[in-house]
Every structure is written in C-alpha cells, then in structure tokens.
Structure 1
Amino acid sequence: MKSTQLHVIETTPEELTDNILIGVDSKLKEFFDKYQPSKKDEVELLTVDETLKRLKCSKQALWNWRKNGVLPSYRLGNRVYYKMSDILAKLVKQE
C-alpha cells in the first residue's frame, strides 16, 4: 500500500476566506475575459439584411429602432450599416 504525507497548515478563518475569494475572483476574470466580444466583432459592419437575420426581427422594427435612436446606424452613400458591437452592447444593456 502506498503511503502519502499529510501536511497540516494552520490558517485563520479570515485567511481561508481570503484565499477562497482570490480563487473565485481569478476564475470569474478568466470567464469574462473569454466571453468578451472579439476585436473582429467590434468593427464588423452588417448590412440591413444581415442585421435582420441576426436579430430575427422585421424590417419595420429595425427601421423604427434606427429612427428612434434605439440602435445606431451608419450610412455610406445610400447604404445603411450597423456595427456588431452596437448590437451586442444594446442586447446586453436592454435600455
């Protein structure tokens, strides 16, 4: 039978709590860093049709959101574009 050594370390409840919180904090930071929008999404411009497919909404709803300032849009000539980062930010904020 294989024997193992057991090391006993004396810690206070406060030290133990601090160590647990540091571990939880680092895991949460890893999680949120992993799920932040990528740099590609921040500058990706979507056409009206692409935006409609992503949001699964009607053309009229998208037009109303643009006119009411709910979802910012950008014009290049006579074309309208939406930034993916704006769409993600609006979905997260829910304002």
Structure 2
Amino acid sequence: MKSTQTHVYQTTPEELTDNILIGVDVKLREFFKKYKPSDKDEEELLTVDDTLKILKCSKQALWNWRKNGILPSYRLGNRVYYKKSDIYLKLIKQE
C-alpha cells in the first residue's frame, strides 16, 4: 500500500475568501478576453442559436430576457437577432 503525504494549511476565512476571489477574477478575465468582440465583430448580428451557444442558456431564458428588455433584440422579418456587442456589454455590466 502506498502512503501519501497530507499537507495541512492554516488560513483565516479572510485569506480563503481572497484566494477564491482571485481565482474567480482570473477565470472571468479569461472568459471576457475570449468572448470580447473585436472592432469588426461589434456590430455582428447573431442568430438565436449562436446566442444560446455563447450564453449557454435555454431558449426559454433567452426569450424571457428579450421579453423583459434585459437583452435587446432585433427583428428582420420573422427572425430574431442579437448584437454580439450587446451580449458582451450585458455580461460585463450585469444591469
């Protein structure tokens, strides 16, 4: 049987909270760097399916956000589109 070493660290709740927040901050920066639209993409219109892939939510949730004015949408005929820049700004501001 193999034995393994166990390390015990003593941290205060404040230090633990700070470490967690630093980790969350790093992950959020990576996410926004990945999905931040470039200047040429800012006005790109996305279909509902494309928007669902970016937001990783259900069609019902997206429809509710559109209905309640949380995420602006644009209609061309029978189709609904979302601006990539609007999605990015909404994720950043969380208004």
Match of 1:78 in 2: 78
Alignment of structure 1 residues 9-20 onto 2, 5 Å: none
Q: Aligned partners of 2:86, 2:51: CA distance in 1, in Å? A: 11
Task: Provide the C-alpha distance between the structure 2 equivalents of 1:41 and 1:90, rounded to a whole number of angstroms.
Answer: 16
Gaps of 5+ in 2: 1-32
Give structure 1 stretches of 5+ with no counterpart.
1-34
**Deviation of residue 81 (structure 1)?**
0.1
Q: Please give the alpha-carbon distance, in whole angstroms, between the structure 2 residues aligned to 1:44 and 1:52.
A: 15
Which one has a bigger Cα radius of gyration?
Answer: 1
RMSD (Å) for aligned C-alpha atoms: 1.3
Distance 2:38 2:54 in 1: 17
Q: Return the TM-score normalized by structure 1.
A: 0.61
- The aligned residue for residue 49 of structure 2 is 49
Structure 2: which amino acid aligns with 1:50? D
Shift of 1:38: 1.6
> Does 2:87 match 1:92?
no
Size of the alignment, in residue pairs?
Answer: 61
Report the counterpart of residue 59 of structure 1 in structure 2.
Answer: 59
1:21-47 deviation per Cα after TM superposition (whole angstroms, max 9, x unaligned): xxxxxxxxxxxxxx6742122111000
Percent identity for Structure 1 against Structure 2: 82
d(CA) in 1 for partners of 2:52 and 2:80?
A: 12
1: CA distance between counterparts of 2:45 and 2:58? 19
Tell me, what secondary structure is at the counterpart of 1:65? helix
2-structure distance, mates of 1:56, 1:37: 17
Q: 1-side partners of 2:60 and 2:47: how far apart? A: 15
